Amino acid sequence: MNKLTAAITAVGGYIPDFVLSNKVLETMVDTTDEWITTRTGIKERRLLKKEGAGTSYLAIKAAEDLIAKRNLDPKEIDMVLVASATPDMPVAATATYVASEIGATNAFSYDLQAACSSFLYGMSTAAAYVQSGRYKKVLLIGADKMSSIIDYTDRTTCIIFGDGAGAVLFEPNEEGLGLQDEYLRTDGIGRNFLKIDAGGSILPASEETLKNKQHFVFQDGKTVFKFAVSNMADVAGKIMERNQLGHEDVHWLVPHQANKRIIDATSKRMGVSDEKVMMNIERYGNTTSGTLPLLLWDYEKQLKKGDNLVFAAFGGGFTWGSIYLKWAYNG
């Protein structure tokens, strides 16, 4: 009998309607379209403006898109994982609400948080459950409402992030397609450079923390940039070496969309040419857990059965890694 692998068999996505362009940001903070474009590659990002709607709203929309496209009975889903750095609330898990709302009434569900690597790590988790033989349909959603934790008077962060969500379904595969290898790393030193100081167990919310704006994202961009460039390229290179993949064997690089310059450095190190690099940072900015599945959503039609995809991500924590996956169907 062939070894059981876990393959992605369907993709869904959702981005909110509201567009925040660089031009509009020019009127909000001391920045320019030219600075943002040349330093990050971002032209616009989408924000969820609907009142009372949180990350679950984005996640549900993405999951419903996948369910409709695939004509899937949600009752067949065994498990719902929501990868997110911006859950609806600190307690309870966003995934439980999402599972109920999409009609996945036979599923168990929980959230997974590893900042911008949440979805990448979620791929590892989802695939492992499927490979164990215990579960057949695992829905993994990457969703973030970054606008809920961004200070729109801080030019160093508000130009980067956007809201969005993507979803994939992992199922067993007996042709050897799906997740082939992974190389995932962490380094706790990173929490000094990309964090939200307050609202957790170290520094609970208080009048003081509100006054000091400690509930917003803080990022030492330069330091994070340096770590991201060297580590993303390093793990992508390692995955290629370990699997004897030459640059000609890689059909697609699927990189976290944090900064076009980080993506370019990674693809250069891998020797992968630009037309093989998935990119949508120009339109969505950095949607944190949404970036990888939204790339699959945008590029799905161009993907062919058997294509070799190399995923790479870097995020707060620090967390980073790379996954090698063989695509399982023609888009």
Residues designated as active site = 116, 256, 286
Nearer to ligand UT7, 119 or 129 (CB): 119
Which candidate, 187, 322, 137, places its Cα nearest to that of 243?
322
| Cβ neighbours of 187 (radius 10 Å) | 12
Per-residue contact flags (x/-) with ligand UT7 for residues 56 to 95, judged by CB under 6 A:
----------------------------------------
CB atoms within 10 A of CB 49: 12
**Binding residue for ligand UT7, selected from 58, 120, 159, 272, defined by CB under 6 A:** 159
Encoded one letter per residue, x for contact with ligand UT7 by CB under 6 A and - for no contact, window 303-322 reads -----------xx-------
Reading the block at residue 64, the tokens are: 């419903």
**Does residue 152 belong to the site contacting ligand UT7 (CB under 6 A)?**
no
Take residue 3 and report the two structure tokens written for it.
Answer: 């070894």
Beta strands at 18-21 and 79-83: parallel, antiparallel or unpaired: unpaired
Q: Which two tokens stand for residue 116?
A: 């911008």
For 115, 159, 228, the CA distances from 50, given in Å and listed in that order, are 24, 20, 33
Q: Is residue 116 a contact point for ligand UT7 (CB under 6 A)?
A: yes
Q: Which residue in the set 1, 51, 71, 222 belongs to the binding site for ligand UT7 (CB under 6 A)?
A: 222
Number of residues that bind ligand UT7 (CB under 6 A): 20
Which part of the chain contacts ligand UT7 (CB under 6 A), choosing from 151-159, 165-173, 181-189, 301-309? 151-159
- Minimal distance in Å, beta carbon 45 to ligand UT7? 13
Query: Interface with ligand UT7 includes 125 (CB under 6 A)?
Result: no
Number of C-beta neighbours around residue 205 at 10 A: 12
The answer to whether 98 touches 84, Cβ cutoff 8 Å, is: no
Shortest reach from residue 27's CB to ligand UT7, in Å: 13
Query: Which backbone phi and psi does 257 adopt, to 5 degrees?
Result: -100, 80
**CA–CA separation, 172 vs 330, rounded Å?**
17
The residues of the shown chain that bind ligand UT7, judged by CB under 6 A, are 31, 35-36, 39-40, 116, 155-156, 159, 221-222, 224-225, 228, 258-259, 262, 286, 314-315
